Amino acid sequence: MAQALEKNSVVAVVGSGAMGSGIAQVAAVAGHTVQLFDTRPEAVEKAIAGIGKALARLVEKGRMGAAEADLARERIHAMRALDEAKDAALVVEAVVEDLDAKRALFADLEGIVGPDCILATNTSSISVTAIGAQLKRPERLVGMHFFNPVPLMALVEVISGVATDKAAADTVHATAAAWGKSPVHAKSTPGFIVNRVARPYYAEALRLLLERAADPATIDAVMRDCGGFRMGPFELMDLIGHDVNYSVTQSVFNAYYGDPRFAPSVVQQELVNAGFLGRKTGRGFYRYGDDVAPPQAQAEPAQQGAEHATLGGADPVTQALKARLHVAEGPATIFLTDGRSATQRAADEGRPDTILFDLLLDPAKATRIALARADQCSAAAWNAAVALFQQAGFTVTRLDDVPGMAVMRTVAMLANEALDAVNQGVCSAAAVDIAMQKGVNYPRGPLAWADAIGLRHVFTVLANLGATYGEDRYRVSPLLRRKLAANPAGARIHAQ
């Protein structure tokens, strides 16, 4: 088992922006002497002062002792020149996201540091293989991708390029763990783990908006209150900035040679064209300002007649929901979405009063439920379904009848992308779940969620989406097919 760097090892950080200063702070708190460099000396002094203030706030909040904070601050030193990194055991680069700039920096560092020094890049999008291609010893270059804000975010993606030595990657992984982080190994492929697997969270929301399933505030509320996500996709895109989010989507799309699964959205492109970039410009999907009232999600008015509505289905989500509703047995009219529209399912099964509900993270505790009605559905059946959930304490939100609804199609696509990442050797199943929980705060790892829903149901959702749209975007991962073929009744990704 690889050992972390000794605490008496020197860590050099090149780049003193938000990422570089955060990395320096984490390394210093872990006990290392840290040398911080920037081409602008004043930026280094500003960063060190900022780290001191951040440590002081931790002391004020009782999260760190005053003596510990003072020692951590004293371990951070400004480098006047890059050659002062000659004794470093690890150099972490956190400069501009530009391949040529990173190559030039590592070429300089290679002539400065000792033969056992590990070189690490904090790149979020550039191939680690490409960055190291011109080095004399590319085997000691490792991706060490932190997430912002570094002191708070637990995830570190440890990225191995084609030439990266396993021992170097293992040492970086162990060192990140010793720094209190949750590191995961990944292969250098476009988007690594998080920026690849997260694409459907934005893409499916944008498709839902394009198809007028609901307005952004309603979809965001469904994703938060039903799916348990910390932020809805539209408010998250507004926070990230549409120029940034759209650019990352384009980058991944181009890197995968136009794979339709990663296709950018014309909806977001129009926002970028308009200059409506989100919070930073005062307008994105939402408007921002002191005098702007927050938009309200759609909610159905109170209804009566709950005794006329019943649930059908033996899946785990439906069973948990039945326990909360205490429904009577009878002809089922309400089902968990399986990727078909309610209208299509009503026609396929000869049930005109078909109503679908969206996936819930926790049916026992959810405060909102999203429903969709078939075009053939009677008003009486709809009102009864709404009343059934309202009596159980749910706010009922109606989505227009789009295939797969919101949470279900998004989670199915997240799981599908995660399965492809595992199938293609990018990372392990455990790593992808850790990455998505620790890196973007998902309420559950996508593969653990697929296990909870049932792999057969996830497959059915994806297959029905593919049949409806006729797009390769919804193709089922070969690994999902393999799992179901090996164990049709009880397939799981994670062993129990």
**DSSP-assigned letters across all residues of 297-346:** ---PPP---GGG--B---SHHHHHHHHHHTPPPSS--EEE--SS-HHHHH
What is the distance, to the nearest Å, from the Cα of residue 101 to the centroid of all Cα atoms in its chain?
A: 28
Amino acid symbol at 91: V
What pLDDT does residue 2 have?
Answer: 85
- What are the tokens at 330? 């009878």
Give the number of other CB atoms < 10 A from CB of residue 453: 20
**DSSP state, residue 279:** G
What pLDDT sits at residue 390?
A: 96
pTM comes to 0.95
Q: How far apart are CA 198 and CA 248, in angstroms?
A: 11
Amino acid at position 434, single letter: I
Q: Is 458 helix (H, G, I), strand (E, B) or coil?
A: helix
Tokens of 205: 């929301």
Element (H, E) at 290: none
Of the candidates 124, 127, 251, 341, the residue annotated as catalytic is 124
Predicted pLDDT at 305: 85
Q: Amino acid identity, residue 396?
A: V
Rounded Cα distance, 305 and 301, in Å? 13
Q: Are 106 and 117 in contact (CB under 8 A)?
A: no
Cα–Cα distance for residue pair 268/82, rounded to 1 Å: 41
Asked if 14 and 37 count as a contact pair (C-beta separation under 8 A), the reply is yes
E strands along 348-437, which residues? Answer: 355-357, 368-373, 395-398
| Nearest by Cα to 426 from 206, 230, 143 | 143
Establish whether 273 is a catalytic residue.
Answer: no
pLDDT of the residue at 272? 97
pLDDT value, residue 327:
74
- Residue 125 has a pLDDT of 87
Q: Do residues 336 and 347 make contact, with C-beta atoms less than 8 angstroms apart?
A: no
- State yes or no: is 416 an active-site residue: no
User: Which residues fall within 8 angstroms of residue 83, CB to CB, at 6 or more apart?
Assistant: 112
Residues recorded for the chain: 496
- Tokens 């209190």, residue? 180
**Is 124 marked active-site?**
yes
Which of 16, 93, 122, 157 is catalytic? The answer is 157
Q: In what order do the strands lie in the sheet with 76-78?
A: 76-78, 33-37, 10-14, 90-93, 118-121, 141-146, 155-160, 182-187
Q: Consecutive sets of 10 residues in the chain, 496 residues long: mean pLDDT of each?
A: 93 97 98 97 96 96 96 97 97 96 97 97 95 97 96 97 98 98 97 96 98 98 98 97 94 94 96 96 95 93 89 92 81 92 98 97 97 96 94 97 98 98 97 97 97 97 98 97 94 86
Q: Is 173 a catalytic residue?
A: no
Catalytic site residue from 9, 16, 21, 145: 145
Residue 249 corresponds to which amino acid?
A: T
**Which residue out of 195, 341, 383, 477 is catalytically annotated?**
195
